[in-house]
Amino acid sequence: MKRKSVDPKFSMCVQPSFIIGTNNEDGSYNFAPITWVSATCEGGDEYLLVVSMFGTKRTKQNVIRRGLLSVNLVSTQMLPMMDYFGSKHAKDGIKNDITYGVSCGVVLDVPTLDESPWVYECEVARSVVTGDSTTFFCHIRNVQMDERLSPKDTFDIDLTVLDPVIYSGKYHSLGKMLGSIGDFYKADKT
């Protein structure tokens, strides 16, 4: 394969899309799409969800104030909702121009989106500020997953069931599951 060098502004970062849920000061809920979400291992089996937010959005201020958030995976059927939340800002008023279901977290007092097939309920452990961005390292206190999934272990999640929206400057979806770790190495040796 031949490659060419390009300007670093072409920073293709493939990321799953999430909608972050927080409570405003008055107790009402607030949702914002965020794609800067990943995970890191703190030690042993303890994973931290890593969520970065840029700017001064209300969702970021709510996370700083309360230290609690829900992280709702966006499926392709939720794309209009994500696009709406990304287009309408909290400063413009309540985001209720579309219909969507909201529930309270099972373990934490955080708003969750009923349509999301995978929801993390998180509590901030620590944060790091870099310029206008704040990165939150969060303890995962609960995971709500689509009941159609029956994983055998942590790495046995069929993303085609979740049908996530993948973002890299434009919205994408997954095509199919290709296999598990080691499947291709073993196949190459036979």
Count up the domains in the chain and report the number: 1
- CA 14 centroid distance within chain: 13
Q: Judge whether 36 lies within some domain.
A: yes
For residue 9, being part of any structural domain is answered with: no
Please name which of 166, 176, 158, 168 lies closest in space to residue 16, comparing C-alpha atoms: 166
pLDDT tens by residue, 58-93: 999 999 999 999 999 999 999 999 988 888 776 666
Per-residue confidence at 15, pLDDT binned at 50, 70, 90? Answer: confident
Question: The domain containing residue 152 runs over which residues?
Answer: 15-189
Q: Mean pLDDT in the chain?
A: 88
Q: What was the pLDDT predicted at 10?
A: 64
Q: Is 65 a member of any domain?
A: yes
The answer to whether residue 39 sits within a structural domain is yes
49 in a domain, yes or no? yes
Q: Which of 16-20, 115-119, 180-184 has the lowest mean pLDDT?
A: 180-184
Contact at 8 Å (CB) between 20 and 10? no
Secondary structure of 2-44 in the HEC alphabet?
CCCCCCCCCCCCCEECEEEEEECCCCCEEEEEECCEEEEEEEC
0.75 surpassed by pTM: yes
151, β-bridge pairs: none
Residue 187 has pLDDT above 80, yes or no: no
The answer to whether position 64 is within a domain reads yes
Q: What is the DSSP code string of 36-96?
A: -EEEEEEETTEEEEEEEEETT-HHHHHHHHH-EEEEEEPBGGGHHHHHHHHHS-GGG----
Tell me, yes or no, whether 8 lies in a domain: no
| Banded model confidence at residue 149, pLDDT cuts 50, 70, 90 | confident
Strand order in the sheet with 166-167: 15-16, 166-167, 171-172
Give the C-alpha separation, 37 to 132, whole Å.
17
We report the CATH number of the domain holding residue 171 as 2.30.110.10
On whether the CB atoms of residues 146 and 161 are closer than 8 A, the answer is: yes
Question: pLDDT band for position 11 (50/70/90)?
Answer: low
